[in-house]
Structure 1
């Protein structure tokens, strides 16, 4: 809004004029009091002698002044017209694009949230507008995601927060699931069978709520219960099934999940039908009113454990009661003008940093244009991904395994050595890149938050595979994770209390004048997808939208290259000519960026997401 135009004595109140600093005292004190009039050289003596004190300029001067005045008036009118047109354009563009399309040239000015869905982004934004912190907004949006995309995340899973406070200090809160106390010692021998729907043996101790508790204790502003209310209301009253959730419902098979999605005639609900999560609403309301302990020590714990054990799971009340979130410092690397902060093992942050360090050594500052340039760029990138995959088994829980090698993955010297092993003209057999036998999965959600005070949250949450273990706790409405299968291919044994290795890489990048909050979902797709978005945005100069929309390349556990369908055929042919096996997939990345006073946000359209801000 413009400043007030109320008159202030002695001040120039025009919003478009400078102060009249060039008018000297003697000009004011003399007979000529018209600031635009030159000295009265043409005024005849008799005019003075006769006492004429008019400040009107004589005819010759007057004609010049009239011409100048007309010119100035024309310029002012033109400026006003242009300004009004620009103002109306900005207003309507702001109404239609700033609020609804955060990628537009009319960015947010104060804060933004980028979640997997517009509804959850809006809930997070509303929390910020009520005076909530970035963490408050993140928790509220994650709770929303547990019903908008319940196949991806929920309170039966785990979460990793990367939180930057207003001073720039960054902390990690890891509340990934842990191995229960009476886990079968031979569990990992059955890893090849974990792609089957029966996955009750792979349920880890849920950590989501303890993670929310730790984050809220350290950074929360609004009351704990307030963060739950929007989702409780949605879950109890019902809402139309969104497109993305609807695509997964037909795949639930003959599992306990069916009771969530049956209509009164016994038919499965579909996209657009109204769905309610009433049991979950009751559970969330209890947690909101009684606090996190009710989930781990109270009535919810008792009901949850009974349902898990009835389904064949191994969790006990003691497992829940002894669970705790872990707060640590962030790891970081230099990336141009930025420091990039990310979680240490067992997250995928070290893997993401390795990919970026390898690629930055090629010193690319513009997007490859020709077919040959694209083939070489993607070939080198694919090779970097293959080496990164081969090193994933070094990102174990540091409480049970040394993180020395994982720390080395973040060093430029290590990336330089890996880059020297990349041939520009060919790929190699899988064994050239190291051990690479993990299981591929597709779950997870990510959201990015930037608050008015400059604080930021990058947070990734998951129940692992599609609908996790496919075990629904009928008494609580909670869908349980199957995260213990993340050990498959990365470990020969597991220990009680250990957190499984993860691809989650919620990151915050900070420079002198910019903050970038970014992360992804899609399990194995997370590091390559986030790396792709960062390269395209920071190095190739693309907007957040363009960078996230750019096609992504993935290398799976069999060293097969997976490409999005929009990659040009001649580039695919060129990659195959170098020996890469190619197939297709999709992923998602959500990000928020502040550059000086401008904020932009983008939620990946691959998952029908949309950001919200103000």
Structure 2
């Protein structure tokens, strides 16, 4: 099976997956082994928090080109007994020794190279896992991490899409990064179906299982991280790691029709999805053909406006005051909505004035009690910097690349500050009583809020089941490119492409493996009357949804 000449031979036809249904718990992720670990935790008496952390750890083993202990995490946790939503920010901060002055002295005045050791922020994933399990979980950390430790020790068969992107990471990052060879086999990525062992990562996970997050942020593991970063030319210190902490934040929400959509607050970009949905709820999307030019035009324009505000305002709220309430007000949404021309693309999109007068894993789980966890974990840009702490078996993220080097910008680099973050989980509840409706997420850089908008409108405006919502072809506005090119996935009608182009949208059609641009999502929806769970998993990934027996 590992000798196919092209990965496209694994996927010669469009997906025709059925939605998964169940009456107890359910888990969904981009790797079946992670889903199995989540279900295993539920069978052992654990809840959604235990299952989510077990899934995060298994994904760190089986999909290291997307996630791992060298990255960050965010989670939204729904507590069924209180119908409350809690937001966990597990993102790290810039090293204390990293300043704009230092960068300017070294010739970095406008941007950093993408894989430079200065882009390494403190990895927040480990603390996030431990904090989520400690606050809401039932099982011991040793029990939660057992599946990931076993897989790392004995090895696992690498999934096809994972192998493809692992090889890309080998060529772009790992072969050129300090100790990157720890994640390769004789200088290459493992092939599809090939067994990969990572005993170094197993050792790290065993230490965390025994001693908790302290094992990661102090002692030999922390020393390996710091020694490697400094050898590579970075400035992360033991003090930076020891000072790290997750934060529990008040989640943000907007009402979209009869539902309430929840996102983590900044420094994450979940605000972007809420801004766009606030604009779109003023249009009758359900009356428009889902893949018509008129429907996509409105969604594209709403997202352009939302990103303009996101890039202007999103930053670490510990450092700057953010006008979140004003940005999410009905008045501001109406103002932004009015700027959308029904037949013509906006040529220039600027941030508004609310105060006048963006490679990742997403996974979710719902337990038998109705608790839900929507979680995302990421390195950024695949393997991040590709730099591997010696003997640890994971690569270090490059999230610091998302800082602005403009000292006047709210997201300007500062020592100890969190950067603009692209990874965002979402939850949806019924507006009238906050009963759970769905755990939702679409991973993939700046595609993430765009994916949230597209799958939520598919669920709410069009009444699709989770699998159908994920199967639907997507668009992706290239928000960081001049002109904002719009990528359209194969399956969107030719007439729609032509009409959007006539409206002034710069269009590009995307097919084959490049469809990874459109992200990879998971959805678990709960029927409030029967309690039946409906799950879907993105056909653009290796994963699945699975119901508890």
* Shift in Å, 1:190: 3.7
* Shift in Å, 1:224: 1.1
Query: Is there any run of 5+ residues in structure 2 with no aligned partner, and where?
Result: 1-14, 511-516
Judge conservation of contact 1:307–1:475 (CA < 8 Å) in 2.
no
Q: Which residue of 1 aligns with 2:84?
A: 169
Output the CA distance in 2 between the equivalents of 1:383 and 1:267. 42
* Shift in Å, 1:193: 5.9
SS in 2 for 1:333: strand
SS in 1 for 2:544: coil
Instruction: After TM superposition, list the pairs within 5 Å mapping 1:421-570 onto structure 2.
Output: 421-432=339-350, 443-488=359-404, 493-511=412-430, 512=433, 514-556=436-478, 557-558=480-481, 559-570=484-495
Judge conservation of contact 1:103–1:544 (CA < 8 Å) in 2.
no
Q: Which residue of 2 aligns with 1:183?
A: 98
* Shift in Å, 1:106: 6.5
1:593 corresponds, among 525, 528, 532, to: 525
SS in 1 for 2:298: helix
Query: Is there any run of 5+ residues in structure 1 with no aligned partner, and where?
Result: 1-100, 436-440
1:353 corresponds, among 268, 274, 277, to: 274
Q: Which residue of 1 aligns with 2:247?
A: 326
Instruction: After TM superposition, list the pairs within 5 Å mapping 1:233-312 onto structure 2.
Output: 233-251=150-168, 252-253=170-171, 254-256=175-177, 258-263=180-185, 268-312=189-233
Output the CA distance in 1 between the equivalents of 2:27 and 2:412. 39
1:210 matched to 2:127? The reply is yes
Q: Rg larger in 1 or in 2?
A: 1
Output the CA distance in 1 between the equivalents of 2:287 and 2:349. 33
Output the CA distance in 2 between the equivalents of 1:526 and 1:411. 22
Judge conservation of contact 1:343–1:349 (CA < 8 Å) in 2.
yes
Question: Residues 213 and 191 (structure 1 numbering): CA distance in 2 closer, same or farther, change over 3 Å?
Answer: farther
Output the CA distance in 1 between the equivalents of 2:216 and 2:182. 21
Q: Which residue of 1 aligns with 2:316?
A: 397
Output the CA distance in 1 between the equivalents of 2:219 and 2:24. 40
How many residues are matched?
A: 502
1:607 matched to 2:541? The reply is yes
1:156 corresponds, among 40, 63, 70, to: 70
Judge conservation of contact 1:121–1:610 (CA < 8 Å) in 2.
yes
Judge conservation of contact 1:366–1:540 (CA < 8 Å) in 2.
no
Q: Which residue of 2 aligns with 1:377?
A: 295
Judge conservation of contact 1:102–1:602 (CA < 8 Å) in 2.
no
* Shift in Å, 1:425: 1.8
Q: TM-score, normalised by structure 1?
A: 0.78
* Shift in Å, 1:324: 0.7
SS in 2 for 1:500: coil
- What are the Cα deviations for residues 468-521 of structure 1, in whole angstroms up to 9, with x where unaligned? 111111221221000001124875632222111123331211125652111121
Output the CA distance in 1 between the equivalents of 2:185 and 2:417. 40
* Shift in Å, 1:195: 5.7
SS in 1 for 2:147: helix
Output the CA distance in 2 between the equivalents of 1:548 and 1:194. 35
Judge conservation of contact 2:180–2:387 (CA < 8 Å) in 1.
no
Judge conservation of contact 2:19–2:536 (CA < 8 Å) in 1.
no
Q: Which has the higher contact order (CA 8 A, sep 6+)?
A: 2
Q: Which residue of 2 aligns with 1:24?
A: none
Question: Residues 208 and 261 (structure 1 numbering): CA distance in 2 closer, same or farther, change over 3 Å?
Answer: closer
Judge conservation of contact 2:99–2:413 (CA < 8 Å) in 1.
no
* Shift in Å, 1:422: 0.5
Output the CA distance in 1 between the equivalents of 2:498 and 2:16. 36
* Shift in Å, 1:255: 2.4
Output the CA distance in 2 between the equivalents of 1:103 and 1:109. 19
